[in-house]
Amino acid sequence: MKIRRAMPDDAKGVKSAHYHAYQVNYKGYLPDDYLRNMPFDESIITRTANYIKEHEYYVAEKDGHIAGFTCLAYPEKKVVEIEALYIHPDFQKQGVGTALMNEVCSLKKTEGYTKLVLWTIKDGPSLGFYQKQGMKESDSVEKKFWKFDIPIICLEKNL
């Protein structure tokens, strides 16, 4: 497996991982009609390519495919936030998410960042994974997930 900075040409693989992970991991958490009607077309791929140009993405390549990705943001000085981390269902439970987390933590620690944060669904499908990565619930106030009435929590760890 290879972890590298994403390029706009990776947009289709990134969007595929994102789309398919949503379909599998959020079933039962997000409304079925929302999942059923999620778009995955050329306009979405183009939008994703533009987003990759403007943001810091990393991809995990495995067997010639984009197995997963992460997107980073910087909400505060010395703090890096994982805005997104999705693994295509065909590659889940194979160490891809752990490899992405380890790469981000190592890279950002070397760059002088001291804390990693992310938001996830409270009691959701990814919580156990993040806890295994050393993430702990922060003192941040619980929020709601995007446009749905689903509670999300902030997790953090020192780098």
Q: What global pTM score does this model have?
A: 0.94
Spell out the per-residue pLDDT of the chain, length 159, in tens: 999 999 999 999 999 999 999 999 999 998 999 999 999 999 999 999 999 999 999 999 998 999 999 999 999 999 999 999 999 999 999 999 999 999 999 999 999 999 999 999 999 999 999 999 999 999 876 677 667 888 889 999 999
Residue 82: left if φ>0, alpha if ψ -120 to 50, beta else—which one?
beta
Q: Number of structural domains, the chain?
A: 1
CATH number for position 65: 3.40.630.30
What is d(CA 157, CA 8) in angstroms, rounded to the nearest whole number?
30
Domain that holds residue 9: 2-158
What is d(CA 76, CA 84) in angstroms, rounded to the nearest whole number?
17
What is d(CA 29, CA 19) in angstroms, rounded to the nearest whole number?
15
